[in-house]
A and B are shown apart, each in its own frame.
Chain A
Amino acid sequence: MRPMATDQVTGRASGRTAVEAIGLGRRHRLRWALRDCTFRLPAGRICALVGPGGSGKSTLLSLVSGLTRPGEGTVRVGGAAPATAANRARIAHLTQGTPLYPRLTVAETLRLGRGLNPGRWNARCAERIVREGRVPLDARAGTLSGGQRTLLGLALAFAKSPELLLLDEPLAGLDPLARHRTTALLLAQAAEHGTTVVLSSDLLAELDGVCDYLLVLGGGRVRLAGEVDDLIGAHALVMGAHRDAALPPAIAAHTVIDTQTSGRRFTAVVRRKGTVAAGPWETAEPSLEELLLAYLRAPDAPALIAPSAEPVPARWHRRPGNKPGIPGMPRNGPPGPRSRPGGRDTPPGGAAGTWHDHHSGKGAAA
Chain B
Amino acid sequence: MTTTAHPGTNGRGTTGDPGGTREMDGRAPLGGLLWLVWRQHRLVFGVLLAAAAGGAVWCAVLRGQTAAFIDAHHIAGCSQISLDPRCDGTQKAVTAFRETFGPSLRLVEVGLVLLPALIGLFLGAPLIARELEAGTHKLVLTQSVGPLRWLAAKTGLPALVVVTACTGLSLTFSWLWQVAGDEVSGYYWYSTLGFHSLGPVPVAYALLALAIGVLAGLLLRRTVLSMGVTLGAVVAVQVVLAQLRPYLLPTVTTEFPKNRPAQVPDDSWLVGQGHYTRSGARLSDSPCDASAGYEDCLRQHGVVGQYMDHHPASHHWPLAWIEAGIVLALTAALTVVAFRVMRRRHG
Other-chain residue from A68, A97, A102, A116 in contact with B29 (beta carbon distance below 8 A): A116
Name 13 A/B residue pairs within 8 A (Cβ), A-sorted. Answer: A66-B347, A67-B346, A68-B346, A93-B142, A95-B135, A97-B135, A102-B134, A107-B20, A110-B20, A114-B27, A120-B2, A120-B5, A161-B1
Could you tell me the distance between the alpha carbons of A57 and B145 in the complex, rounded to whole angstroms? 24
**Set of chain B residues within 8 Å of A93, measured between Cβ atoms:** 138, 142
Find out whether the CB atom of A110 lies under 8 angstroms from the CB atom of B21.
yes
Contact check, B14 vs A100: say whether CB atoms are below 8 A apart. no
Kindly identify, within residues 107 to 130 of chain A, every residue whose CB is under 8 Å from any CB belonging to chain B.
Answer: 107-108, 110-124, 127
Is B243 in contact with chain A by the CB < 8 A criterion? no
Check A112 against B36 for contact (C-beta < 8 Å).
yes
Closest residue of chain A to B136 (Cβ to Cβ) is A99
Whether the pair A114, B6 counts as a contact (CB closer than 8 A) is: no
Closest partner residue, chain A, to B347 (CB atom): A83
User: B21–A115 contact, CB under 8 A?
Assistant: no
B26 proximal to A (CB < 8 A): yes
Q: Enumerate chain B residues within 8 angstroms of A204, measured Cβ to Cβ.
A: none
Q: Does B143 contact A (CB under 8 A)?
A: yes
Interface size class of B (residues with CB under 8 A): 35 or more
Task: Determine whether the beta carbon of B21 is less than 8 Å from that of A137.
Answer: yes
Please give, as numbers and ranges, the residues of chain A lying within 8 Å of B136 by CB-CB distance: 99-101
Q: In A100-158, which residues have CB < 8 Å from any B CB?
A: 100-104, 107-108, 110-124, 127, 131, 137, 156
B142 and A92 within 8 A (CB): yes
Question: Which residues on the A side are within 8 Å of B13 (C-beta)?
Answer: 121-124
A99/B134 in contact, CB under 8 A: yes
Tell me the B residues contacting A by CB distance below 8 Å: 1-7, 10, 13-14, 16-17, 19-21, 23, 26-29, 31-33, 35-36, 39-40, 134-146, 344-347
Task: Convert A62-79 into 0s and 1s, putting 1 for each residue whose CB lies closer than 8 angstroms to a CB of B.
Answer: 000111110000000000
**Nearest-neighbor residue (CB-CB) of A102 within chain B:** B134
- State the main secondary structure of chain B at its contact with A: loop
Set A114, A116, A124, A161: member contacting B140, Cβ < 8 A: A116
Q: In the assembled complex, how far is the CB of residue A200 from the closest CB belonging to chain B, in whole angstroms?
A: 15
Report the separation of the CA atoms of residues A120 and B6 in the bound assembly, to the nearest whole angstrom. Answer: 9
Q: For the complex, what is the distance from the CA of A52 to the CA of B21, rounded to whole Å?
A: 40
Chain A interface (Cβ within 8 Å of chain B)?
A: 65-69, 81-83, 85, 88-89, 91-95, 97, 99-104, 107-108, 110-124, 127, 131, 137, 156, 160-161, 193
Is A89 touching B144 in the complex (CB atoms < 8 A)? Answer: yes
Nearest-neighbor residue (CB-CB) of A126 within chain B: B20
Q: Could you tell me the distance between the alpha carbons of A299 and B328 in the complex, rounded to whole angstroms?
A: 56
Please, how many angstroms separate the alpha-carbon atoms of A116 and B143 in the complex? 6
Q: Which of B17, B35, B144 contacts A118 (CB 8 A)?
A: B144
Chain A's closest residue to B34 (CB) is A115
A89 proximity list for chain B (CB < 8 A)? 144
Task: Collect the chain A residues with CB atoms within 8 Å of residue B134's CB.
Answer: 99, 102
Other A-B pairs, 18, CB within 8 Å; known A83-B346, A99-B138, A122-B2 = A83-B146, A85-B146, A88-B143, A88-B144, A88-B146, A93-B142, A103-B40, A110-B20, A111-B21, A111-B23, A115-B31, A117-B143, A118-B7, A118-B27, A118-B144, A120-B2, A122-B13, A160-B143
- Residues of chain A within 8 A (CB-CB) of B17 are 123-124, 127
Most buried by A among B36, B139, B140: B139
In the bound complex, CA of A118 to CA of B5 (Å): 8
Q: How far is the CB of A243 from chain B (nearest CB, A)?
A: 54
> A95-B138, A108-B39, A118-B27 are known contacts. Are A160 and B144 too (CB-CB below 8 A)?
yes
Determine the chain A residues whose CB is within 8 A of the CB of B344 once the complex forms. 69
From B35, B138, B345, B347, contact of A81 by CB (8 A)? B347
Docked pose: A114 CA to B143 CA in angstroms: 9
CA distance A108 to B42 in the complex (A): 14
A85 and B2 CA atoms in complex are apart in Å by 19
**Residues of chain B within 8 A of A66, CB atoms compared:** 346-347
By the criterion CB–CB under 8 Å, are A65 and B347 in contact? no
| CB closest chain-A residue, reference B4 | A119
